[in-house]
């Protein structure tokens, strides 16, 4: 494919819109007549291109009887089209030296591939075929069910993943956010080709689709290649319900499992991906337990040796979020380490610390952000997520500016707002439940 340096507007039909976003970043966006967006970030000094097809549909968009269908559908996209078998698709990507993958999250599905810039058109042809022409062959569906059953078993045998799912189930009780992405054995068993096609028709609709490209790409040539196929996608025939914001439930779930250690999660108030408080919450989470110099890691692992694994997490969604702490400890260290977690949170609420600590966390956050953008895959995902959530590209400088504004008063405010004892949720997985009441008393839940 010939790559030219100048940008020009291509009109596929009179309704197609094209608008330039960011001259300095060489970021372009074109909206097709059916509302599908094509966004590109040109990086002329590298030789690769990553292309992703992002769909604003994930596990939270499933009805209870559809549990696991978004994930199942993502699996089936690479299992054969009307033109190529699953093997032929894999061979086609390998033949151009490319890598392809896909993932399903709570709120999105994405399939993507990376190739040398000279092979972009061939890669695009493969991804278009996968996205528009998948067969959902009944025999392949039955084969893939066995793969997903294995995935479910692996998930259940991983204590860290499993205790996190227990926390989600309790925190987001009676809501789709409380269900895991993989599905259950019963819902996967009952899934068939007709149901997968129906889910696709309901959710893989133009207004939910963003095509993101990052690398040595010419935007207008990419629109010319992609637009012809993607403009054929029509609006949904079915109305889908709007996402409902969940209520955060407090409480403790303690599940017995014959394992060596106790795995503990504490879930607390968080913030959505659209909240301006997300930057403050991110820094607070890092200070508390987000890296090797964080308070919890130093106090519980390094100084006292009470746990091998302890960290904080910040799960963000479009309308809500959860900040939490995870640890894996022996029975004798479960209660002492839990008390230390709360003690460190209390310190953040009550005491002022040096600007040096805050500056270190700022640098850590900025460094991780900028280093992650060395990857065209990450740049592609940033383009897609920005468009999906904010309907605009957010420059790095804007994010860094928000991080620079954060003060110690903001961190203390986060500690107060996040770890309000009246809103905590917790999950524990371990060999016996004898300490359940003691943990509930300590957490006051």
Rounded to whole angstroms, the Cα distance separating 162 from 146 reads: 20
Q: State the Cα–Cα distance between residues 92 and 111, nearest whole angstrom.
A: 16
For residue 405, give every residue at least 6 positions away whose Cβ sits within 8 Å of its Cβ, in sequence order, or none. none
> Is 74 an active-site residue?
yes
**In 3D, which of 24, 19, 18 has the Cα closest to residue 398?**
24
- Residue 312: closest CA among 334, 329, 297: 297
Tokens of 265: 């999660």
90 by Cβ neighbours in 10 Å (0-12 / 13-18 / 19+) ranks as middle
Based on its alpha-carbon atoms, the radius of gyration of the chain, rounded to whole angstroms, reads: 24
**H-run or E-run covering 166:** helix 159-171
Helix, strand, coil shares of the chain, percent, nearest 5, are 50, 20, 30
Contact by Cβ (8 Å): 265, 426:
yes
Instruction: Specify the 3-state DSSP secondary structure of 444.
Output: coil
Phi, psi of 119 (to 5 degrees): -105, 15
Question: In degrees to the nearest 10, what's the CA dihedral of 349, 355, 357, 359?
Answer: 120
Q: Annotate 250-307 with DSSP letters as a single string.
A: PEEEEEE---SSEEEEEEEE---TT-TTHHHHHHHHHHHHTSTTSHHIIIIIIIT--E
* Burial class, 137, CB count within 10 angstroms (exposed 0-12 / middle 13-18 / buried 19+): middle
Burial group, residue 276, by CB count within 10 angstroms (0-12, 13-18, 19+)? exposed
Is there a contact between 388 and 213 (Cβ–Cβ < 8 Å)? no
Coil/strand/helix, residue 329: strand
The active-site residue, picked from 62, 63, 66, 74, is 74
Q: Which residues are catalytic?
A: 74
């Amino acid at each position: 494919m010939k790559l030219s340096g100048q940008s020009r507007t291509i009109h596929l039909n009179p309704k197609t819109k094209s608008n330039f976003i960011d001259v300095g970043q060489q970021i372009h966006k074109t909206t097709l007549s059916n509302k599908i967006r094509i966004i590109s970030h040109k990086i002329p000094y590298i030789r690769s291109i990553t292309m992703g097809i992002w769909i604003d549909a994930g596990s939270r968009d499933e009805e209870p009887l559809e549990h696991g269908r978004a994930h199942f559908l993502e699996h089936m996209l690479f299992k054969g089209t009307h033109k190529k078998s699953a093997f032929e698709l894999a061979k086609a990507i390998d033949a151009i030296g490319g890598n392809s993958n896909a993932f399903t999250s709570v709120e999105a599905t994405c399939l993507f591939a990376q190739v040398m810039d000279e092979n972009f058109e061939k890669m695009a042809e493969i991804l278009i075929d996968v996205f528009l022409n998948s067969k959902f062959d009944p025999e392949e569906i039955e084969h893939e069910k066995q793969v997903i059953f294995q995935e479910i078993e692996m998930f259940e045998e991983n204590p860290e993943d499993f205790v996190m799912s227990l926390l989600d189930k309790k925190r987001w009780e009676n809501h789709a956010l409380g269900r895991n992405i993989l599905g259950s054995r019963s819902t996967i068993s009952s899934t068939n080709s007709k149901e997968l096609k129906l889910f696709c028709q309901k959710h893989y609709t133009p207004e939910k689709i963003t095509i993101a490209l990052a690398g040595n790409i010419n935007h207008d040539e990419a629109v010319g290649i992609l637009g012809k196929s993607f403009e054929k996608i029509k609006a949904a025939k079915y109305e889908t319900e709007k996402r409902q914001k969940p209520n955060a439930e407090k409480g403790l779930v303690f599940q017995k499992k014959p394992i060596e250690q106790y795995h503990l999660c504490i879930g607390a108030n968080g913030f959505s991906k659209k909240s301006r408080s997300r930057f403050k919450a991110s820094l607070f989470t890092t200070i508390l337990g987000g890296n090797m110099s964080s308070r919890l890691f130093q106090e519980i692992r390094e100084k006292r040796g009470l746990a091998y694994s302890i960290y904080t997490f910040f799960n963000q969604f479009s309308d809500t979020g959860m900040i939490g702490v995870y640890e894996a400890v022996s029975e004798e260290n479960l209660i002492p380490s839990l008390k230390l977690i709360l003690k460190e949170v209390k310190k953040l609420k009550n005491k002022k610390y040096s600007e040096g600590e805050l500056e270190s966390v700022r640098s850590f956050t900025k460094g991780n952000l900028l280093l992650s953008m060395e990857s065209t895959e990450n740049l592609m995902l940033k383009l897609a997520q920005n468009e999906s959530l904010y309907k605009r590209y957010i420059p790095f400088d804007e994010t860094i500016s928000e991080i620079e504004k954060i003060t110690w008063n903001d961190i203390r405010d986060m500690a107060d707002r996040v770890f309000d004892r009246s809103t905590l949720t917790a999950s524990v997985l371990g060999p016996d439940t004898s300490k359940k009441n003691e943990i509930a008393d300590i957490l006051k839940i």
